[in-house]
Amino acid sequence: MKRVIFEPEHEQFRDSVVKFMQAEVAPHAEKWREEGMVPRELYLKAGEQGLLCTWADEQYGGAGIDDFRFEQIIIEENMRHGDIGFYINLHNDLVAPYIAKLGTDEQKARWMPGIVSGEKILAVAMTEPSTGSDLAGMKTRAEDKGDHWLLNGAKTYISNGILSDLIVVAARTDPESRHGLSLLVVERGMEGFERGRKLAKMGLKAQDTAELFFNDVKVPKANILGEPGQGFRYLARFLAQERLVAAIGFMATAQTAFDITLQYVKDRKAFGKPIGAFQNTRFKMASMRVELDAAQTYIDQLVLLLNAGELSAEDASGAKLLASELEGRVMDECVQLHGGAGYMEEYRISRMYTDARISRIFAGTSEIMREIIGRGLGLDERKLS
């Protein structure tokens, strides 16, 4: 189905992104999966190409394009022609907005140029060993010491945990309030800040995930984002975009799996004819085609709502739920249609299958998404009881 939200300038930009991913990412992806991370130089190359924070102000080196469709294209083409382990979407669309929208002029002048150029790689640290999605149960603490905050605690499952230079850390600054959190920016090299082991994962092999430890880290007052104690509200504010970003990626990988499988069933023969000629294969592919088109239309519409400043938490949660669940079903069907080849890691569909399993977990599990959507319908036990 033809997508109707893009203008000619978007398609021209897409062509340039495809060329970058095919030249700078795809040829090295296998090596990076073996090494467990992409090189820092990849972010520098993306910065030179203008692919980091297209929305950033020109004074910081960005293009100043206030149109999320350009970021959508980067996410989609990285999934199709680059590698899912290159977490450019985390850098561009999840973490950098915290600094751009909450940061002071001094903070933005200090950090944004390096973020846009790729010299400063970003991460966000929320998850802790025992909390998961329960931000109110966070144990990492920062004490006000007058001219600095003293940060102590541990974080886990942190994407870009090894590569990152600037980490937005959520910490409890008001021990009397369950929601009394603040956001502090910890910089590479700060005394007391240590990175733990690079965690081994089922999928996303080229994306570094790590534990982080903060032992009496002195974080300058100039490194706090927004108002102290408002971190919980800030996190909730940015989660809608995060979930839409995730949904965009899930749809791109699901579509890629479909395309790979469509070609495979045309080429692979069984009983003297292509397996795509069997009714079961045709019906499976037809069903996936319709589901993908319907979901993509929904996601595209939400991108336009984000552009208009009208994306709601419930709609973003719906996008994340729909896209991740559909991606899981599509991956499973595509592996099945590949037969024994689908179980072999040398085939891309096998790697995509394991990469996709995290989609229903991170950025909020499918169960949490259903809770948010249900409460948005007024089905909240706190209000109904």
| Tokens 């104690």 sit on residue | 229
Residue 309, phi-psi category: left (phi > 0), alpha (psi -120 to 50), beta (remainder): left
Q: What is the Cα–Cα distance from 216 to 188, expressed in whole angstroms?
A: 15
Nearest-5° Cα angle at 299, 298 to 300: 90
Q: What is the CA radius of gyration of the chain?
A: 21
Catalogue the long-range contacts made by 262-270 (C-beta closer than 8 Å, 24 or more residues apart).
264/337, 264/338, 264/341, 264/349, 265/337, 268/339, 268/341
Q: Is 71 a catalytic residue?
A: no
Q: Dihedrals φ, ψ of 263, to 5°?
A: -65, -40
Catalytic residue among 34, 242, 310, 333: 242
Among the listed residues 243, 248, 246, the one whose alpha carbon sits nearest the alpha carbon of residue 373: 243
| Catalytic site positions | 242
